[in-house]
Structures are given as C-alpha cells and as structure tokens.
Structure 1
C-alpha cells in the first residue's frame, strides 16, 4: 500500500514538472515566434552607411569648391556710388522756405577692376546722369572716379581711378566657352553690403530681354539683388565671364533668374572705348529672323533652328561674300546660331574689317563663306525711318561735327513727321539731347528711350535751318 502511494506521488510530481516545462518552454516559444511573424509585416529599412573606403578628397571631387574663385575676385570687385543732381517737383514747403528744387540723389552699384592701373568696368545704368562717382575698394579705401566712356546698348561703362599703387584686378575670360549647367559666382555689393558672394549655375545663354533681338545675356540662378549691378560673374577657376546687369523680378528683388553681359562683349566694348572713344560695330548685312516650326513650315523647309536670311543689305560684307536671300545661317566661326540673339551676340564681339566664316544651308547644301564685316553706315530707326552716316565732306559742307541723314521715313509715322517739316534729306542731329555721330548713336537713343515720355528730335532741314520737334 505504501509503495503504491509513493508511486502515485512520483507520477503526479512528474506530471507537474512536465506541464510546467511545456508551459515555460514550448508555449512561450510559440508566442515569441508569433510576435516575430507580426513584426515581419513592417517595412524593412536598409542602412545607408557602408564600410567601403572612399578616396582622399572625394567630397571635393563631387561638390564644387568656390574658395579659390572667391579669393581671386573679392578684392577686384568695388562699390560704386553715383551722386546725381535732380530736379524735384516744387512743393508748398519749398516755396515757403525758399528751397531749391535741385537735390542730390544717390545710387549705388558694383564694379570690377580690370587693370592694375585703375580701370573699372560697370553698368551704364549704375552711373547714368552722375555728377560725381566715387569708388570704395574692398579694403575700404575710397577714390573719385572719372567716366571714360559708356555704351547704352550693351549697358557697359568704363571708369578710371588714380592710385599710387597697383590694384588687384580680374582678367576677362572667354564667355563663349561657358557652358549651360556650369557653376558660377556672382560677386558684388547688394543692398550696400560689401563683398557678397552667391553661387548658382548658368541657366541659359544668348537671352534677349528687350524683344528686339538687341541683347545677348548669360542667364544664371545665382542670387543677384539691387546693388549687384556692375559686379562680376565668375566661373570656378576665378575667370571673369560676365558683368551682372539685370534680374527677373516683380518686386525689385531676386526671385530666381539674373542676367549678365558676356565678358567677350564687355571686353570688346571696353577696348573700343579706350581706343576710339566710342563703340565700333562690325555688321554682317543681313535681314531676317530665327527659324521655328511655324516659320519653317511657311518657308517650306525642314530646318527649325538657325537664322533665315530674307534680305541682304547692299554694299555690305554679306552681299560681297555671296550670301543670298533664302540662305539659312547655322554657324559663325563654329558658334552655333539657333536664334537671332546668338547671331547678334557673337557679332557684338567683332569689329569692322574682321573676317568671320559663315556656315549656311542653301538648297540643302552646306557652304562656308568668309565675310568681311563692315562699319554700320545705314540703319532702320524705329519711328523715324532709315538713316545713313554722313561723309566727312558732307559734315564740312554743312559746318557741323555730327549728324546722320534721313534716307527714308518710317511708313507709319512718316506722314505725321512731315506735318512738322521733317522729310527725306534732313540731317538728324540730336535725340533727347544726345548728339548723333553715327547711325549706332541714333539706334541706341531710340532703344533706350522711355516711350512714356516725349521724344525730342533736333534736325537741320533741307534749307539748312535748325529745327526741333516733340513726339508724344
């Protein structure tokens, strides 16, 4: 009996141990397995770090380094202050206190030193109408500047300061080699802040903001604000490839795009001002427009890029070289011509008597013709008509030093001008007070006129009498 009771107790104890072990190990394991299976439904995140050894300076090979370019350009960019005397509207307080209507108006911008002797390039609009121009260097030294010359069409001006020591300067780079997508720096003095550097990329080239195909800007997304005008556009090598000029904005501040005069154009303007006192433009002598799908269809061609020649001006390099109406210009000196501003932009870097190689398509055949550029002697001026440069003997006969001859009146405005005695053969002498030494001067005067204001024209009639008219 005692043995049976002992056996039962041992059996019960064994059962309890077995049940406890099952609960502890087997069921807990199943619960753990269930939990793992539920977690496996969540997203799997893969670590981004690897243990692969990177080459030395790998970061600098990926991200551009602007330190060297900034160091080359900061000391060569200056602050320009323009003080002009303007006539303000008379107020009751002015009458009461006897104050003058003339007051000083101050404008600011930037400039770039381009020679150790103190020549500085800036924008024409920065120093326009200035009575006094002062320059402040990056080391805070200030100098009075002399205006050497300007070109309103390209918005470039040349200044000179006198110093006892050589100045840090920037050499012009080759803007034709600048590529879309290339990193650039804009260096200037926005909001009167000294030596500010911003970075961006070249967004486009040969941009025309006028709608008249007279401009050819480099477009960039480097932040440019009021005061940056006249400053430097620099590539990562520290080369000066442009002069910052304008921004695309609705409120006067930067919102995404800015524009610079290409360095090749600025350099040519500066050289002409230094050598001749004015700009010497070499013209090709063609009239036409850029091709696109619509124009190509109307002209019966499959070519949608290039400059279509509709007319060749007589006595020009284009006529003498054999360019004809119907030709499609594709390249000039290897530079692709996809739109009108490509052509005008490249030609602005050239001078009279320069020879350019024009690649064109004629009857599906490609030709390359060398063309000698000539000085612009005839031009179509909006509102007025066709004008022509005067020969020296004409100037002597009329006893004048400047003026251009009216060869044909504008079709639309000609009848209105005739009512005021303006006719073919008259000598146009001034537009808005600016003396006209050439047809280029006449063109720039009209292009830069604010047509919300009256246009004042001075001329010599066919009887040799001086007259003036006001067009509103």
Structure 2
C-alpha cells in the first residue's frame, strides 16, 4: 500500500505533473564517482531541515459525549492538538524551503528545525495539492546553507541516489541507494510522474531531498510502498523537473497555473483502434470536448485520437494530461490528431485550468468480449432527460436494459446510458444502432459506440463477432 501519514509522522502520496526546467548535465565519469558520500553529506546536511506542524482540531463527537461533572449536562467540546513531522530543504539564502503539501496542509503552526537544533517559525508561501509540493519561508540566517536543483531527466536507472531527512523524528538521517525507475504512475493523481528509488524512505522523510552523486536535488521524497509502514526499498520522489517549476511559481505568484485544452480522454484499446481503423493503440482518444474550450475552437471533436502534442509523442492519456498541464496558459501548442484514418495538424491556444479534477482525466476503458450484443433500446423518454444530465437538443438512443452475461454487459454498458453515435454516425432511433451493428458484423470489426452517461461522454468498442 502507499503510506500517507498526515496523522503523526509523514510519508505521503500525491501526484506529479510534467513541467519543464532548463538544463542538461553530462553523466558522471568513472573517475568522478565518489568512494563514499561524506563530502556531499557534510556540504548539504545543514540545508536539510525537519518540519514540525501543529493542527488544532475540534472533536464534535466524542468529547461532547462526556457529562459536566457539576451539573450533569454535556460538557463543551474541547480542541485537540495534532502534531506531525516531515522534512524539507532550503533552496535559497532568502529562507525559502521546499517540502510536501501533505506535511503542512491544514497546519495552524509550522516550525523548522535546523541541523544545529535551532528552531524557527515558518510561513506558508503556497502549496500545490496536485503535485504535493509546498514552499515555506523563514527569516534568513547568517550564512544559510542551501541546496541546488539538479536535472532529474539526466538521471538514469542505476544511478546513485542519496536521501536526507528526519524519518521517525530522527533528524539528519542519510540513506543511499540507486534510482530504480523513472516516470512511475502509482495512480495517486492525474500528474503522476515519480522517480522510484531504493534508498530507504520512511515516515518523516516526506518533503526531504533526493540527491544525485553531485549533491544536486533531483527529487522531493513523497511516497513509499509499505505493507507494514516501514521501508521495503520502494520509495517515490517528485522529480526536480516538476518540483522546481512548482516551487518557482509558488514563490513568484503564490499559486499554480496549469494548461487546459478542454477534452475528456480515454485510452485507445485494440478494439477501439480496430473500430476507428487506425494502426496500433497509441494516442489518447477524445471522448468529449468542452463547449467553448481551446480544443473545440481548434476543431478537435469527439472520436479524434491525439497522437502528438507540441512535439511530444502521445502514447496514452497520461502523456497528454501531463503535456497539456505543463503548457503556460495563453501559449500556442500544435496537435497531431488522427481522424478517420488520416493525420492532421492543428494549432490551439492553451487555456488555464480552473479546477484540479481535470477535464483531461482518463475514463476507464471497458474490456471487449465475444458474445451477443444484448441491449434493449428505445428513443429517449422525455421524462428522464433531466435525470440523465442531457444537454437540450441531445439526440440518441436510450438503453432500457442490458442482458446479463451479454457482450454489452461485459463491456460496461448500463441501463440508463444513452447511445449518441454508432461508428461515428449520430443515432436517433434503435434501428440506427441495429444497422451499424449489422454492418460491423458483416465487416468483422467492432462497433464503436459513443455513450452519454450522466452528462459524461465515453466511447465503448464492442466486438462484432
């Protein structure tokens, strides 16, 4: 499991977003690889801090159950103090400190403990729940030790990694390992893009730095996989590519701006690829386009498969989510989309995301099966339109019932779904869908259904044999 302990000592779980920072560092030569890491630790230990937080919580249930011993009436609820501990690191001599959002979220008091045991109050500059990065500010100290950002893109699996933090409240703890993998998606959020390391990370390491063999910060330790709560050698860090950009924005503006294009996406399964007549299953399928969005203005529509965004190949939904979010609102981006088997290039103006739930989120793609269709269809009853979340003027076919163990059932179709199109043909009567189903069976290819489910759009490819 992924451990996230805002109660007590911290080792959290959140997301990563693809943001860009300049640079490019040549790999270390054999002669440059240190025999040990004492020099790095000696130089950087003073720049790593422990972070203590206090949160005042009001118990509105249990404490009210106690009686006032003097008059027998329920006693007043008393506030409780919850304390938590994490790690952080100083990024410049002005006193700015990077840590995890989950270490400081909802805290009423934040203090920083330096390696010389001196404690200072800290002010929250800004935080980003989407990437689990936060920035604190303390008054500058004389000759304040600082860290330097490294290039997380230049670090390859097998390279040395060094974690420094305060696991279990033990300040100034050093652990060493290697980079186990890059670009890990642990299903924590839409911006997952973690570095994986086997350097020991435990509760209290959250927000601490992950260094390379040059002593540069390549990640912010954030999450662990742990059946027992302790390290088993699988830890995750937000890459410096992400953390540096987020920290810079928070210091500059106090908040984060992410690119927005206004599409809802789902993965291209082999069945969907076959139904669309495209080779392979790479790309991100546009399930719906938000009215008035940058995507709609650029001419993108439901059924398009986006295969490239601003020069980056798109393998799936996650690639496009990260790529779009990394763009500065107002900037221009080029998009390659596949429509009806042909590639086209479009240019759009990136908008600004207004929420973190993400209209670029993935829709779970159903599995294919090889059985009868098993749908009972009718025109959309007028009385159920408000409950279905349909926009005025929406046409389609209403699914009244789905036969158990049928192909439709095994592909996730539900009573109450509305079929908007079949094989990219708008449908208004059950016979329209039946005609496309028969055509697909003759051509021995899946039928591609576009479904409206409670106001959300998704595609389902159903094998026709």
2:50 alignment partner in structure 1: 79
1:151 alignment partner in structure 2: 128
Deviations 1:71-120 (A, max 9, x none): 55322221000012233532998955989732322110001211210011
- Equivalent position to 1:238, from 215, 235, 241: 215
- Equivalent position to 2:296, from 278, 295, 319: 319
Q: Between Structure 1 and Structure 2, how many residues are aligned?
A: 332
- Equivalent position to 2:239, from 262, 273, 277: 262
Unaligned runs of at least 5 residues, structure 2: 1-28, 360-384, 390-465
Using a 3 Å threshold, how does the CA distance of structure 1 residues 271 and 90 change in structure 2: closer, same or farther? same
Using a 3 Å threshold, how does the CA distance of structure 1 residues 240 and 368 change in structure 2: closer, same or farther? farther
1:226 alignment partner in structure 2: 203
1:175 alignment partner in structure 2: 152
1:309 alignment partner in structure 2: 286
**What SS class does the counterpart of residue 125 from structure 1 fall into?**
helix
**Is the counterpart of residue 193 in structure 1 residue 164 in structure 2?**
no
**Residues of 2 paired with 1:60 and 1:316: CA distance?**
54
Q: CA deviation at 1:336?
A: 4.0
**Residues of 2 paired with 1:133 and 1:333: CA distance?**
41
1:90 alignment partner in structure 2: 63
**What SS class does the counterpart of residue 85 from structure 2 fall into?**
strand
Q: CA deviation at 1:374?
A: 0.8
Q: CA deviation at 1:411?
A: 4.9
Are the equivalent residues in 2 in contact too, given 1:80–1:109 (CA < 8 A)?
yes
**Residues of 2 paired with 1:317 and 1:249: CA distance?**
42
- Equivalent position to 1:184, from 161, 186, 192: 161
Are the equivalent residues in 2 in contact too, given 1:180–1:203 (CA < 8 A)?
yes
2:257 alignment partner in structure 1: 280
Using a 3 Å threshold, how does the CA distance of structure 1 residues 293 and 68 change in structure 2: closer, same or farther? farther
Deviations 1:177-224 (A, max 9, x none): 443444322221111112222233333444343465343333333221
Q: CA deviation at 1:294?
A: 5.0
Report which of the two structures shows the higher radius of gyration computed on alpha carbons: 1
Are the equivalent residues in 2 in contact too, given 1:264–1:349 (CA < 8 A)?
no
Two-structure CA RMSD over aligned residues (Å): 3.7
The structure showing larger relative contact order (alpha-carbon pairs under 8 Å, at least 6 residues apart) is 2
Q: CA deviation at 1:245?
A: 1.2
- Equivalent position to 1:372, from 332, 335, 349: 349
**Residues of 2 paired with 1:359 and 1:376: CA distance?**
21
**Residues of 1 paired with 2:99 and 2:272: CA distance?**
39
Structure with the bigger percentage of helix: 1
Using a 3 Å threshold, how does the CA distance of structure 1 residues 99 and 321 change in structure 2: closer, same or farther? closer
**Residues of 2 paired with 1:233 and 1:276: CA distance?**
26
Q: CA deviation at 1:169?
A: 1.8
**What SS class does the counterpart of residue 275 from structure 1 fall into?**
helix
**Residues of 1 paired with 2:306 and 2:160: CA distance?**
31
**Is the counterpart of residue 140 in structure 1 residue 111 in structure 2?**
no
Using a 3 Å threshold, how does the CA distance of structure 1 residues 264 and 146 change in structure 2: closer, same or farther? same
2:413 alignment partner in structure 1: none
Are the equivalent residues in 2 in contact too, given 1:69–1:234 (CA < 8 A)?
no
Larger deviation, residues 276-285 vs 356-365 = 356-365
**Is the counterpart of residue 345 in structure 1 residue 322 in structure 2?**
yes
**What SS class does the counterpart of residue 288 from structure 1 fall into?**
strand
Are the equivalent residues in 2 in contact too, given 1:171–1:239 (CA < 8 A)?
yes
Deviations 1:298-328 (A, max 9, x none): 5443223332233333333333444444443
Unaligned runs of at least 5 residues, structure 1: 1-57, 383-407, 413-472
Q: CA deviation at 1:148?
A: 1.6
**What SS class does the counterpart of residue 63 from structure 2 fall into?**
coil
**Residues of 2 paired with 1:63 and 1:201: CA distance?**
14
**Is the counterpart of residue 104 in structure 1 residue 81 in structure 2?**
yes
Using a 3 Å threshold, how does the CA distance of structure 1 residues 344 and 177 change in structure 2: closer, same or farther? farther
1:48 alignment partner in structure 2: none
